Amino acid sequence: MARHSRTTEAAAKVVVEQVEEITLDKMKVQVRGQDVALDDVLLDPTNPRVANTVAAGHHGDGEAMQTALRDILWSDSDVHDLYRSIQSNRGLIERIIVRSNMVVAEGNCRTVVYRKLRENFPDDPTWRTIPARVLPADISDRQVAILLGELHVGGKNKWSAFEKAGHIYQLYAQFGMVQEEIAKILKTSKTAVNHNIRAFDAMKNKYLVAFPVPGAVRKFSYFLELFNKPELREWITRSPEALDDFVQWVGTEKISQGQHVRELKDIVSNPRALAAFNKQGRDAAMKILKQDRPELSSPLFKMMIEMTQALEDARLDDIQRVRKDDSGSAKAIVRGLNEALERFVDLCGI
């Protein structure tokens, strides 16, 4: 009977594997799909979501570090949402990815969720192992980075904007890839790569250093918007202290919504509005802007500016169409605009 018991136990420990061969960086790599004991999996302290928070604290090594990583990730409300989704689904839709030493390459949040589910439901065997793709021992960090990019930046299983930018930054800063190469691998544009690198660098080395709080990475969209706007990029380049100011404005909620970053391009170009913004905040700055730039609050003045620009950029074929207009319809449009403008100018006493 004892022999039968040992045989049964041994059979239960047999790991069912699915081996797939993929090509990474022009090399064939075998990846093993298997369920891994949850206690064997280690969270990655270099993950962009937690790296700066970990660096700002003193968490020690080994189990103390793993506990700190778990607590940091669990403090994020997004991870709580993931918990409910995985619990409802009774498992993962996408396996985590682990290196041969069992350190998570991708899937730290899912690992934390599994640990919480095991803690809350200790008698349920579902949460004792976690579905994983195990990478071979001889795979390079560069190949791991390319794999993750293929899966989560260029592929269908998208990362968040912050995680995507962190990966792009890693390819650039750690592996020395040029922006054209990154753009090709991740199926995006060189411009997008450049903006993501600059935004992540500012977020990592400025904002998260000054404000290392749970959920701080949600502010990343503010920084990406900052570098997406030509006027704001010019402001950052022109003024050495501008980025530090922006970090403080975001961290202290002076800029409290992503859409307010778009307004910033008008504020920083107006010295009076910028001074008011620094001293009293957004509302005071917008009040000055609306006085100095009526097109911001009046649809009519906005259309006038657009029409002025359109007339200045008028194409020769449009001008010729008016000159050679036999039916008179094009000339009637121009005369009507001219008469309306003359009446408006007269009423304004200009």
Q: What is the pLDDT of residues 82-113, one digit of tens each?
A: 999 999 999 998 899 999 999 999 899 999 99
**Residue 121 backbone phi and psi in degrees, to 5:** -130, 70
Predicted local distance difference test score (pLDDT) of residue 193: 95
pLDDT at 134: 93
Beta bridge partners of 22: 29
Rounded CA separation 24/34 (Å): 20
pLDDT score of 308: 93
- CA dist 108 and 106 (Å) reads 6
pLDDT less than 50: residues of the chain = 1-15, 56
Name the packing angle between helices 220-228 and 242-251 (round to 10°).
Answer: 150
Distances from the Cα of 266 to the Cα of 221, 242, 287, angstroms: 19, 15, 12
Say if CB 143 and CB 28 are below 8 A apart. Answer: no
Whether the full predicted model's pTM is greater than 0.85, yes or no, is no
Give Cα 285 distance to the centre of its chain.
28
Contact 102, 42 (CB under 8 A): yes
Predicted pLDDT of residue 341: 94
Task: Provide the β-strand partners of residue 131.
Answer: 35
C-alpha–C-alpha distance, residues 216 and 219, integer Å: 6
Q: Measured between alpha carbons, how far is 163 from 145 in angstroms, rounded to an integer?
A: 12
Determine the pLDDT at residue 161: 85
Separation of alpha carbons 255 and 219, rounded Å: 10
Can you give the pLDDT at residue 7? 38
